[in-house]
């Protein structure tokens, strides 16, 4: 007796594209206080606000129509395909390939796009702007000048010049390209700021030692200075990826912590008020003693 049961058709709903951290990216590394969705909204608003001021001629999104992903409508198989001849594994593979192809196209043209880091409270925003450090410096300087706190959930905002695999050869190769620009000609003081998350294969001491030696190789007059360096080499290791950058005024800018920069004014005002109060007390006591 033949099997008269109908075979179920399989439908695969296309998920919204998720972008993942890969080598060769540049952008912005953000830390937040357990409110990642709110942090993403804040950092998008912040970056777009200052990017529009620095680069008024650039569009917010430069995505050609061909690079826009397809809609999230359910996808059915072609009628010409036989249910018996179509393998579910083939359908899944085609689905994954189309998602990767569309996401790579659209990501290349987006000015800012959050990508997955695989670590909680760590957000990476990829950019196609030529100089993420220029935009970050503009934000920091404006916050110092105005003392207006524009974010509640974004803590640190660091420009990232290049990403690579988290192994010594790739890190040294990527760092060497950056060091040619910053440490080759003019001698300066430097320090290495190293942070590691969800990675046990990368040695902190070895990376710092190798990077410091490479800086000295570029220019023998470069000197390490842990307290007041001219330039800081930022090394952020997250799982199997490494984020590299070179920034100035790292400690002056409160380690690029936006909240601490805005708090500085209130601390200064409290200190100044305390000094004024002490000076007024001293003057009163001096007047009493003279009388």
Whether the per-residue pLDDT at 54 is higher than 70: the answer is yes
- In this prediction, residue 60 carries a pLDDT of 53
pLDDT at 136: 97
Model confidence at 34, in pLDDT bands (50, 70, 90)? Answer: confident
* Range 62-68 average pLDDT: 38
Look up the CATH architecture of domain 27-56+110-264: 2-Layer Sandwich (3.30)
Position 83 pLDDT exceeds 90: no
User: Tokens 């085609």 map to which residue?
Assistant: 94
For residue 74, count other CB atoms closer than 10 A to its CB. Answer: 9
Two tokens, residue 181 = 């620009």
pLDDT at 199 over 70: yes
pTM: 0.72
Which one, of 63, 86, 64, 62, lies nearest residue 76 by Cα? 86
Q: How confident is the model at residue 242 (pLDDT cuts 50, 70, 90)?
A: very high
Q: Which of 162-171, 226-235, 256-265 has the lowest mean pLDDT?
A: 256-265
């Amino acid at each position: 007796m033949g099997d008269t049961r109908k075979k179920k058709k399989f439908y695969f709903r296309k998920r919204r594209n998720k972008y993942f951290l890969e080598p060769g990216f540049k952008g912005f590394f953000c830390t937040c206080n357990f409110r990642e969705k709110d942090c993403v909204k804040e950092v998008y608003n912040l970056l777009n606000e200052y990017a529009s001021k620095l680069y008024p001629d650039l569009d917010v999104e430069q995505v050609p129509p061909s690079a826009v992903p397809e809609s999230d409508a359910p996808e059915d198989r072609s009628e010409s395909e036989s249910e018996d001849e179509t393998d579910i594994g083939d359908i899944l593979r085609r689905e994954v390939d189309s998602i990767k192809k569309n996401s790579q196209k659209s990501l290349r043209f987006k000015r800012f796009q959050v990508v997955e880091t695989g670590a909680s409270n760590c957000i990476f925003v990829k950019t196609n702007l030529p100089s993420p450090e220029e935009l970050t410096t503009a934000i920091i300087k404006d916050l110092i000048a105005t003392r207006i706190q524009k974010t509640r959930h974004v803590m640190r905002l660091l420009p990232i010049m290049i990403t690579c695999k988290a192994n010594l050869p790739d890190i040294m190769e990527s760092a060497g390209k950056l060091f040619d620009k910053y440490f080759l000609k003019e001698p300066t003081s430097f320090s290495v700021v190293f942070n590691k998350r969800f990675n046990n294969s990368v040695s902190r001491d070895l990376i710092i030692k190798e990077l410091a030696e490479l800086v000295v190789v570029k220019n023998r007059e470069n000197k390490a200075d842990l307290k007041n360096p001219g330039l800081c080499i930022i090394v952020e290791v997250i799982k199997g990826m490494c984020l590299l950058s070179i920034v100035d005024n790292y400690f002056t800018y409160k380690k690029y912590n936006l909240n601490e920069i805005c708090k500085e004014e209130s601390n200064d005002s409290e200190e100044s008020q305390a000094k004024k109060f002490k000076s007024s007390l001293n003057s009163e006591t001096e007047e009493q003693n003279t009388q």
